[in-house]
Amino acid sequence: MSALALTARGRAGASQWLGAALVAALVGAAMLSLVWTPYPPGAIDVPHKLLSPSPAHWLGTDDLGRDVASEILAGARVSILVGVIAVGIGVAFGVALGLVAAAAKGLVEDAIMKLCDFTFAFPALLSAIMLTATYGPGVVNAIIAIGVYNVPIFAKLTRATANGVLAREFTLAARAAGRGPLAIAFDHVLPNIAPALIVQATIQFAVAILAEAALSYLGLGAQPPEASWGRMLSDAQGWMYVAPRLAVFPGLAVALSVLGLNLLGDGLRDALDPRLKARG
Amino acid sequence: MLLEVSGLAIDLPSPAGARRVVHDVSFSLDAGDSLGVVGESGSGKTMTALALMGLLPDGARVSGAMRFEGQDLARLGEDAMRKLRGDRIAMIFQEPMSALNPLHRIGAQVAEPLMLHRAMSKGAAWTEAIRLLDRVRLRDPERIAHAYPFALSGGERQRAMIAMALSCGPDLIIADEPTTALDVTVQAKILDLLASLCVSSNMATLLVSHDLAVIARHCRRVLVMYGGTVMESGPADAVLRRARHPYTRALLEARPRPGAPRGERLRAIAGAAPSSASAPIGCPFAGRCPLTLDICRAQALPTVEFEAEHRVRCHRVDATGRLT
Does the pLDDT value for residue A8 go beyond 60? no
> What single letter denotes the amino acid at residue A270?
D
**pLDDT tens, A118-174?**
988 888 788 888 888 888 888 888 898 899 989 999 999 999 999 999 999 899 999
Q: Is the minimum CB–CB distance between B98 and chain A shorter than 8 Å?
A: yes
For residue A279, the model assigns a pLDDT of 43
In whole angstroms, what is the distance from residue B14 CA to residue B130 CA? Answer: 44
On chain B, the residues whose CB falls within 8 A of the CB of A179 are 82, 86, 112, 116
Q: Is B137 helix (H, G, I), strand (E, B) or coil?
A: coil
pLDDT at position A75: 93
Inter-chain residue contact A191 with B113, CB threshold 8 Å? no
* Predicted complex ipTM: 0.84
Which residues does chain B have within 8 Å of residue A174's beta carbon, measured at their own beta carbons?
Answer: 101, 112
Name the residue in chain A with its Cα closest to that of B86: A177
Count of Cβ atoms closer than 10 Å to residue B71 Cβ = 12
Cβ partners under 8 Å of residue B115, min gap 6: B121, B122, B125
CA dihedral sign, ordered A44, A45, A49, A51: negative
Range A207-212 average pLDDT:
92
Check if B170 contacts A (Cβ < 8 Å).
no
Q: Which residues does chain B have within 8 Å of residue A177's beta carbon, measured at their own beta carbons? A: 85-86, 90, 112-113, 116, 164
Name the CATH code of domain A3-279 (choices 1.10.3720.10, 3.40.1550.10, 3.40.50.410, 3.40.50.2300).
1.10.3720.10
Total count of residues recorded for chain A: 280
10 Å Cβ neighbour count for B105? 18
How far apart CA B282 and CA A184 sit, in angstroms, is 43
> In which band, very low, low, confident or very high, does the pLDDT at A276 lie, cut at 50, 70 and 90?
low
pTM greater than the 0.90 cutoff: no
Q: What is the DSSP letter of A188?
A: I
> How is chain A split into domains, by residue range?
3-279
* Segment B19-69, tens digit of pLDDT: 889 988 999 999 999 999 998 888 889 999 999 999 998 889 999 999 999
Lowest mean pLDDT among A148-162, B10-24, B212-226, B280-294: B280-294
Residues forming beta bridges with residue A114, ordered by sequence position: none
Interface contact A178, partner B, CB < 8 A: yes
Residue in B closest to A104 by C-alpha: B58
| Contact criterion met (CB < 8 Å) for A169 and B95 | yes
Chain B positions touching A185 (Cβ under 8 A) are none
**Cβ pair A148, A118 in contact under 8 A:** no
Query: What average pLDDT does this structure show over A4-20?
Result: 68
What pLDDT is recorded for position A1? 39
Chain B nearest-CA residue for A191: B103
pLDDT of residue B266: 73
Between CA B4 and CA B30 the distance in angstroms is 9
> How many Cα atoms sit within 13 Å of A229 on the Cβ side?
30
| Secondary structure of residue B292 in the 3-state scheme | coil
> How many Cα atoms within 13 Å fall on the side-chain side of residue A209?
27
Q: Answer whether A184's CB lies under 8 Å from B109's CB.
A: no
Among A173, A178, A188, select the one facing B116 at the smallest CB separation.
A178
